[in-house]
Amino acid sequence: MKSSARINNLARAVSFVLVPLLLCATVFSLTSCRLRSSEGVSVTATEIGPDGHKVVTKGTIMTDSDGNETKTMNVISDSRPAAPGDRVTVEDVAAIATVADRDFVDGWIDGRDPRVFKSYYKSLTPMQKAQFAMAYHDMVEKSDQNLAQSYKTYIPYKKRVAFARNYWENSESGPKFKSEIEKMQVAWIHESLLDGGELWWRAAEKRFGNAISSPAQMAHDVEQNMVSKYMEDEGTESTFSQQMTDKAKIR
């Protein structure tokens, strides 16, 4: 009797597994089917950020009836560097700017555009450029932007412009910035955003090398490309002339 009961229980267990497998094979294919619980599949990911800190995220992947996946991830630990030496410094960035100012650099932005400036920004010292790059990076780092996860988190261009305009107007270069005609102010802001983002990144590459993850590299390239196109969001590009027209809206 006990043996018969075990056989019956085993048969029921096998049928419980085979039925969804066969159903899945009918709709899609057996090789592409994955059994999932109602809570989804648990996943854990570990990445090394540009600053050298380790970020561990954990979440679930849910699959709807059409096979579309939705990932929900939450940070469970973020080991920020304890020592200042583990972070990019303004001196690191200034050193990169010094070399870049001295030499002609092609493919500076996203491996495409050369490092050529039309505004007075080009006349600033390497340290002045580095100070802006650090401030700009801090602003981005404190935001919710995470382009490795979603382009929808991108900081709109007008917000970047508002930050840069406020920075330059209140910097030691403020009088010079304010004396420039409108289009040269727009050029100054745009060039500083792109250059500042790249200077900080190259300083991070020099300091951390292979510790920088591929998703972080991809996110940087995506961000620079979107900024270069004056993008407000992932689907809305703008132009240089529109920045002058929309000046009142971006303050």
Query: Which long-range contacts does 186-189 make (Cβ < 8 Å, 24+ apart)?
Result: 186/240, 186/243, 186/244, 186/247, 187/117, 187/118, 187/119, 187/121, 187/240, 188/119, 188/120, 188/121, 189/161, 189/164, 189/165
Which residues are paired to 63 by β-bridges? 69
The per-residue pLDDT for range 77-103, each reduced to its tens digit, is 555 544 445 899 999 999 999 999 999
Kindly list the strands in the beta sheet with 69-79, ordered across the sheet, starting from the edge strand earlier in the chain.
41-48, 54-63, 69-79
pTM of the complete model: 0.66
The DSSP call for residue 120 is G
pLDDT at 54: 58
pLDDT at 21: 38
The per-residue pLDDT for range 53-64, each reduced to its tens digit, is 556 666 777 777
Give me the residue label for tokens 């500076």: 108
Residues of the chain with pLDDT under 50: 1-7, 9-11, 13-37, 81-84, 247-251
